[in-house]
Amino acid sequence: MDFALTDEQKMLADGAARYVRERCDLESRRKAAASEDGFSRRHWRHFADQGWLALTLPEAAGGLEMTVEDMSILVEELGRGLVCEPLVDSAVTCAHLLSASGSEAARAILADIATGEAIVTLAHLEEGDHSEYDAPVASRAERIDDGWTLSGTKTCVFYGASATHFVVSARNNGDDGYGLFLVAADADGIRREGYSLIDGTRAADVHFDNVRVPASALLHEPATAATVLESALDRAVVIFGAGVVGSMEAVLELTSEYLKTREQYGKPLASFQALKHRMSEMLVETEQARSALYSALAAIDSDDGQRRRRAISGAKALIAQSGHFVIGEGIQLHGGIGVTEEYAVGHHFKALIVYDKRFGDSDFHIERCGQIPAEEPQAP
């Protein structure tokens, strides 16, 4: 076991840290949030140039075939800077679904993901769903001669209005499960209604009205789709989790600096013991979140589905809980300025809330863990 970063990982982390430091100030992020996309196309091009979008993609698609750990190291640094581009949705979640498919169409799109030309996002949640992990999927896929027609309404499609393609879950009458389909966002019969999210990014409701797609659009058959999707979601949960850990580290830094700078009753805030102790508690929780992240990274490729599920759900729950405490207290220690839009700590909080509510919240994941028996030690 070795936690040290390889030289390659160090370069990756340093490059991202430098980018965040030099280019990801809050003002430009607020500008991006106000734009039609809810993110910055300039950043997006940079991500492509740096190879970040290609990081975990297969070589055949121009990818670097790096690991989930590498991606998590990158995203942790980006999380410090509240980076909000569709890196994980497109180049991790959907890229995994595409890579795992044998389809020719998929391979072509993967290359476009690597260059940033394609933005692919998951259209999976429907009315009333609380978690991607147990969405029942009512959207319908009907077989026609040369392919399929898709109908239904997807909601909370992240980056849905900016996406070039969707991976859509839909159910063929009579099949047990749902299939996963690749659909161009400009296909006939698709209507999107975009809206802003609290963190400044955007999502959309996407209506599919008898959208025709070729047979090759079927990425995953019902027999395997749910398993592949789970594995894609697991990757998203872990890598977004790394971003939250980055957020937490940034808040520790922001807050301790703030406390040293500001005075009350003629003394620096940092000299008040109650505030010192709060910072210590925040560090304890941040370390817990990081450890939960490592636990999930260690299990992400495990063949033991129970172990993997437990580690992923456990990390999701603990990172969200710890993040809520650390960033919430970060706001508290800043006082009034902490609850304004002009200051970064509130934005970290909103990014955390987005993490908390995506993929199922902590209650959901604790319950999911609880259904998996913990490994029992053997009695002698």
Please say which residue, 148 or 158, places its beta carbon nearer to another protein.
Answer: 158
Check binding of 259 to another protein (CB under 8 A): yes
CB of 271 to a copy of itself, least distance (A): 10
Helix or strand run (H / E) with residue 158: strand 147-158
d(CA 20, CA 47): 12
Site for another protein in 127-186 (CB under 8 A): 127-131, 153, 155-156
- Give which of 88, 19, 28, 113 is closest to 239, Cα–Cα: 88
Check binding of 272 to a copy of itself (CB under 8 A): yes
Label the pairing between strands 147-158 and 120-123: unpaired
Fill in the per-residue mask, 277 to 296: x = in contact with another protein (CB under 8 A), - = not in contact.
x-xxx-xx--xxxxxx-xx-
- Give which of 108, 102, 74, 99 is closest to 88, Cα–Cα: 74
C-alpha to C-alpha distances, 64 to 67, 265, 299, nearest whole angstrom:
9, 56, 22
CB of 283 to another protein, least distance (A): 5
CB of 277 to a copy of itself, least distance (A): 5
- Give which of 141, 230, 129 is closest to 178, Cα–Cα: 141
Check binding of 260 to a copy of itself (CB under 8 A): no
Which position among 270, 312, 326, 352 is part of the footprint of another protein (CB under 8 A)? 270
d(CA 276, CA 294): 27
Site for a copy of itself in 194-223 (CB under 8 A): none
Which position among 81, 222, 314, 323 is part of the footprint of another protein (CB under 8 A)? 314
CB atoms within 10 A of CB 274: 6
Site for another protein in 93-132 (CB under 8 A): 125, 127-131
Q: Is the dihedral of CA 249, 356, 185, 124 positive or negative?
A: positive
Check binding of 273 to a copy of itself (CB under 8 A): yes
Structure token digits, residue 374: 């913990």
Check binding of 353 to another protein (CB under 8 A): yes
**Residue 370 binds: one of a copy of itself, another protein, none (C-beta under 5 to 8 A by kind):** another protein
CB of 108 to another protein, least distance (A): 31
Are 152 and 209 in contact by the 8 Å Cβ rule? The answer is: no
Please say which residue, 138 or 184, places its beta carbon nearer to another protein.
Answer: 138
Check binding of 378 to a copy of itself (CB under 8 A): no
CB of 258 to another protein, least distance (A): 11
In sequence order, the β-bridge partners of residue 208 are 152, 190
CB of 276 to a copy of itself, least distance (A): 8
Structure token digits, residue 259: 């406390």
Instruction: Please give the angle made by the CA atoms of 75, 12 and 6, to the nearest 5 degrees.
Output: 110
d(CA 46, CA 56): 17
Site for another protein in 182-211 (CB under 8 A): 195-199, 203, 205
Are 131 and 137 in contact by the 8 Å Cβ rule? The answer is: no
Please say which residue, 6 or 280, places its beta carbon nearer to a copy of itself.
Answer: 280
Which position among 24, 32, 254, 317 is part of the footprint of another protein (CB under 8 A)? 317
Q: What does the radius of gyration of the chain's CA atoms come to, in whole angstroms?
A: 21
Check binding of 265 to a copy of itself (CB under 8 A): no
d(CA 212, CA 150): 7
Q: What is the DSSP letter of 127?
A: T
- Tell me, rounded to whole angstroms, the distance of Cα 360 from its chain centroid: 12
Check binding of 267 to a copy of itself (CB under 8 A): no
**Residue 377 binds: one of a copy of itself, another protein, none (C-beta under 5 to 8 A by kind):** another protein
Which position among 59, 267, 273, 303 is part of the footprint of another protein (CB under 8 A)? 273
Please say which residue, 305 or 370, places its beta carbon nearer to another protein.
Answer: 370
Contact window for a copy of itself (CB under 8 A) among 141-149, 164-172, 247-255, 268-276: 268-276
Please say which residue, 171 or 316, places its beta carbon nearer to another protein.
Answer: 316
Where along the sequence are the contacts to a copy of itself (CB under 8 A)?
A: 272-274, 276-277
